[in-house]
Structure 1
Amino acid sequence: MSTQNIAPGATRPTLRQQLGARKPIEAFIAEAGNGTGDGPQLRRTLGLLHLTMISVGATLGTGIFVVLSSSVPMAGPAVWISFAIAGLAALFAALSYAEMAGAVPVSGSSYTYTYATMGEGLAWVCGWCLVLEYAVSVAAIAVGAGEYLNEMARALGVNLPAALTNPPGVDGGMFNVPALAIVLFATVLLVRGTKESAMVNTVLVFIKIAVLLFFIVIAFSAFTSGNFDPLLPMGTAGVSAAAARLFFSYIGFDAASTAGEEAKNPQRDLPRAIVLSMVIITTLYILVAIAAIGARQWTWFEGKSAALVQLLEEVTGQGWVALLFAAGAVLAIVSIVITVLYGQTRILVAMSRDGMVPAVFARISPRNGAPVAGTWITGGAVAVVAGLIPLGQLADATSIGTLFAFSLVSLAVIMLRRTQPELPRTFKVPLYPLTPILAVVFCGYLMLNLGATTWVVFGVWMIVGAAIYLGYGRRKSKLAAAWGTVPKN
């Protein structure tokens, strides 16, 4: 750890020293162990396919199934360009994640990378952003799944009561029971064990890819090139605003990096899984967006909560087609909930080991090697949020925290190259340092295109996080507790 300017005889750092204190990468790796350390540990059971499917599962479907309808009115027919812009920003960040995941193969993801390069203060900020990214995005995605469940029920001639299928303030809603049920289902699955949940997720991911390919084929059968004229009815500002919102669609590609301690060969497989997942996700997103706009004019999407289901029903005139797609969409979104909730619990494991959050989150079950208690706590809290808060507010709030965390990871690549150039790296970002710099620029650009309300929510979230750090994290920090015993480096 960094111990510059320590007062003689000091056993605890000042606030300034603690905020800048860096935890050595070797310490993270030693704590993670290889499954043979003291006490129950996370188990290495995941190969390249599982890791890739975790990232694809955590990402693919969110923007298409959930956020597309609200983004088309912002960008018009150029929404596919918005997907490409958001995907390019995500790709630059993904390359940075790939390098860091290969160099620091532990569970903490960007929280760990920031702690090792920029110090405890920014690590806490990053971890607090990740809490927003993972927990709130799970809730937002579950809300979207609830919308498709409603479409399934309507296709079967059943009208579910609005009071139990919408959050408060939305069409007479009181509590979104389907969203809560989906989160609780994912929680139960994760509690059973990592290997079991990874196998279920892999099956669900293949189903969701098949469902999206099915949509592309049907939508292209009704393709009209005139739907793309004019391409930019809302101008470039609309395209940028939609790209900022659609970045939410790429949240989750970093989920594989949270599995660093459960991968069989993390240095080799984590970078491959991250890059491969981004190629799959971006390709499918752009194809679906082009197919959707080609089948219907962009103004048609205004106000539609489950647009793709309704589009298929109109194009085919067959209710069973819409029912099949809605069922596939629900399964697809369930896989996102599973994998994103998985990532959240693993990040909390890393933060708990450092004393940043209560120790219960790092408690590993000796039966299945999973953080059972932390999963129940996280899943229960997210389920309540999913039942109470509307989707749009969740999506934008998640995007801003994620963009900030991605920026920190890209900066971490640069700092680690300078401070530890000899560190073994199984993957290096191409065109260094241009790639991580572009990642920071793109993320900053997208953040600036988010609304003022989103910035206010983010500011309040950061204030709450600072209060928790000063009141709990700073006092409980294990790095600070060991301050007087760790040699300078």
Structure 2
Amino acid sequence: MKKSRETSAPSLKRCFGLWETITINVGTVIGVGLFTLGANVVGLLGPWVFLATLLALGISIYPSLLYAEMGGALPYAGGTYQYASLGLGRPFGVLAGWNFIISMVSVASGEALAFAFYLRTLFQALGIPLPIGDRAVACLGLAGFLLLALRGVEWSGRLQNGFLFFFWGVALVWVCSMAPRLQFSYFAAGPGVTPQGFLPCVALVWWCFAGFETCCAMGEEIKHPQINLPRALFLAPFLVFAVNGLFQWVLVCIVPPEGLPALAGAAAPYAKGMELAGVAGFPLILLCLGIAFGGDFSTLNASVSAPARYLFTMARDGVLPAAFAKVHPKYHTPYVSILALGALMLLLVSTGSIDHIASLSLFATLLYYVIGIAAALGLRRRRPDLPRPYRAPLIRLGAPVSIAVYLLMMTQLEPSGAAMGAAWCVLGLAVCRPGRRSAGPAGSFPPPPLPPSLDEKAAMDREYRFWRAAVGIAVALVLALYAVAFLLSKG
């Protein structure tokens, strides 16, 4: 078991580069939100979903800059838990960490159910009856990723890249296969939109962006995190916007306006949209393959691994039982935390309800972001001498505005989700011991990772330039597609 040089606390193994740091972020996000509730919103807003997605991007950018600052300065496991413990006090750190855990556990559970829905649709398209139910399929999928998480982050990182590149490749072929069926005239019509109905839809679309900072949870497993963490966070919201925007654009272009309401309650909205458009055969098979084995798998991989790092860190710091801080002697993974949260994920899957899972996740996610944004201000005040490879601009203005926006979105949540979230917070404050002195990095930091060599830094810069250009092109393409569709719909 590895030991840090200044503490006897167990530590993790650094093996993620920039590619894995980006794909862990994006893979957490591109999944259950986009392919379930994010697509349900298309049924409510029609072409106006583009405006909701732009707003969701806008309210994600500045918080991602704050996390870039905090992640580069504190490159250890635990993310928002660590930042809030130092910047606001341990009780706020506990509350943030506790809510991150249930948020990601909910995402993993919802993603497993979404995988089951799209896998069943795939089998139906192939004319093969699936012999087991959706919940059993979801549990089997989760079990596979729990075993992968136990095995170690090297395999998780490699497979994460594979899942996402498979998804992007299949998505590109699917979009091309749908080109003959695109109807730009559908952008001229759509459901009526009121401000009262629009804000809850923005909150649901924003859930498709939530998790853009997941790499911060795994900061102790990223190589050269002072450089790679901020760079991944600069790119993540824009890459998520490009993928969400492209898929929503296709859905609006193929579903007749009178069919949009059917999307609002569909368990597999993209499959339902293709059914409404009269599309079957190869395009439907391709869609389900990409979503199930690319988008869903990438989210399951990331969201099974990340919350265990929070549970591990909180236990290492003494606020949760020490058993959760145990690290596997061979694989260097927090195996007790992974197994404990895996049991909770399976319990949520047994409910079979993505809507309730999403409501709980939205509340918890918004709450830990509010605490995380406030923590950035607190760290500037309490730890002004902390080395910061990157500093977010205009923090005295940007942070309060972001907090206000996220609190406004919390007012748009379903009462049941808020009630479940509040109950989870009470449970966390009851079982945790936030007053105990830290034994880990939140109290006495191990030495930061050594900087890269000149050759390593040059290679990292080339890699970042590639990603930055690719993401810029993707965003420009999506903006152009919407502009063309709106213009042609008026012609």
Q: TM bucket by the smaller chain?
A: 0.7 to 0.9
Q: Does 1:450 find its partner at 2:431?
A: no
Residue by residue over 1:361-401, the C-alpha shift from the partner in whole angstroms, topping out at 9 and shown as x without a partner, is 21111212111222122223212321324001101210111
Residues 40 and 401 of structure 1: is their aligned pair in 2 closer, same or farther, counting only changes over 3 Å? closer
Aligned to 2:70: 100
Quick one: which of 186, 191, 199 aligns to 2:150? Answer: 191
Aligned residue in 2 for 1:399: 362
Displacement after TM superposition at 1:287 (Å): 2.1
The equivalent residue for 2:353 is 390
Deviation at 1:63, TM superposition (A): 2.4
Residue identity opposite 2:336 in structure 1: A
Conserved 8 A contact 1:93-1:407: no
Q: Deviations over 1:392-447 (max 9, x none)?
A: 11012101111111111111111222232232111222333322223212211211
Contact in 2 for aligned 1:35/1:42 (Cα 8 Å): no
User: Given the alignment of the two structures, is residue 426 of structure 1 paired with residue 385 of structure 2, yes or no?
Assistant: no
Alignment map for 1:58-207 (pairs within 5 Å): 58-160=28-130, 164-166=132-134, 176-207=135-166
CA contact (8 A) 2:164 2:298 kept: yes
Tell me if 1:301 matches 2:270: no
Q: Cα–Cα, structure 1 residues 187 and 36, in superposed 2: closer, same or farther, change >3 Å?
A: farther
Contact 2:53–2:202 (Cα < 8 Å) also in 1 = yes
Structure-2 separation of matches of 1:302 and 1:479:
47
Q: How far, CA to CA, are the matches of 2:166 and 2:274 in structure 1?
A: 18
CA contact (8 A) 2:90 2:434 kept: no
CA shift for structure 1 position 40:
5.3
1:272 maps to what in 2?
231
Q: 1: CA distance between counterparts of 2:423 and 2:395? A: 35
Task: Tell me if the contact between 1:87 and 1:250 (Cα under 8 Å) persists in the aligned partners.
Answer: yes
Alpha carbons 2:31, 2:298 under 8 Å: kept: no
Partner of 2:373: 410
Tell me whether 1:377 sits opposite 2:336 in the alignment: no
Assess, with a 3 A threshold, how the Cα gap between structure 1 residues 211 and 444 changes in structure 2: closer, same or farther.
farther
Amino acid in structure 2 at the alignment position of 1:84: L
- The answer (yes or no) to whether the contact 1:219–1:294 under 8 Å persists in 2 is no
Determine the C-alpha separation between the residues in 1 that align with 2:231 and 2:156: 21
Matched, 1:330 2:292: yes
Deviations 1:226-279 (A, max 9, x none): 323345613222221111122221222121111111111011111111221222
Q: Identify the range of structure 1 (69-78 vs 388-397) with the bigger mean alpha-carbon deviation.
A: 69-78
RMSD across aligned positions (CA): 2.4
Moved more, 330-339 or 151-160: 151-160
Deviation at 1:36, TM superposition (A): 8.9
- Cα distance in 1 between the residues matched to 2:9 and 2:42: 51
Q: Greater shift after overlay, 55-64 or 176-185?
A: 55-64
Q: Which runs of 5+ in 2 are unaligned?
A: 441-491
Q: Measure, in 2, the Cα distance between the counterparts of 1:343 and 1:367.
A: 19
Which is further off, 384-393 or 220-229?
220-229
2:25 corresponds to 1:55: yes
Q: Which residues in structure 2 correspond to 1:34-49 (within 5 Å)? A: 34=4, 38=8, 41-49=11-19
- Please give the TM-score of this superposition, normalised by the length of structure 1: 0.83
* Residue in 2 that maps onto 1:353: 316
One-letter amino acid of the counterpart of residue 217, structure 1: C
Inter-partner Cα distance in structure 2 for 1:474 and 1:284: 39
The answer on whether the counterparts of 2:174 and 2:286 sit within 8 Å (CA) in structure 1 is: no
Identity %: 24
Q: Distance in 1 between matches of 2:65 and 2:180?
A: 36
Report the CA distance between 1:474 and its aligned residue.
Answer: 4.8
Q: Tell me by how many angstroms 1:177 deviates.
A: 0.6
- Seen in structure 2, the aligned counterparts of structure 1 residues 210 and 311 have a Cα distance that, compared at 3 Å, is farther
Report the residue type matching 2:366 in the other structure: L
One-letter amino acid of the structure 2 residue matched with residue 351 of structure 1: M
Amino acid at match of 2:244: Y
Q: Which amino acid aligns with 1:328?
A: G
Question: Residues 270-320 of structure 1, C-alpha deviation per residue, up to 9 Å, x if partnerless?
Answer: 111122122211112112212211221233424322222344466584413
TM-aligned CA distance change 1:465 to 1:433, over 3 Å: same
Instruction: Please say which of residues 376-385 and 222-231 is displaced more in the overlay.
Output: 222-231
TM-score by length of 2: 0.83
Q: Counterparts of 1:81 and 1:90 in 2: how far apart (Å)?
A: 14
Cα drift, residue 454 of structure 1:
1.9
Q: How many residues align?
A: 435
**Structure 2 match to 1:16:** none
Post-superposition shift, 1:149? Answer: 1.1
2:220 is aligned with 1:250: no
| Aligned residues of 2:103 and 2:364 also touching (Cα < 8 A) | yes
- What is the CA–CA distance in structure 2 between the aligned matches of 1:263 and 1:392, rounded to whole Å? 34
Could you tell which deviates more after superposition, 305-314 or 409-418?
305-314
> Which segments of 5 or more consecutive residues in structure 1 lack a partner in the other structure?
1-31, 167-175, 482-489
Alpha carbons of 1:219 and 1:240: their partners in 2 closer, same or farther (altered >3 Å)?
A: farther
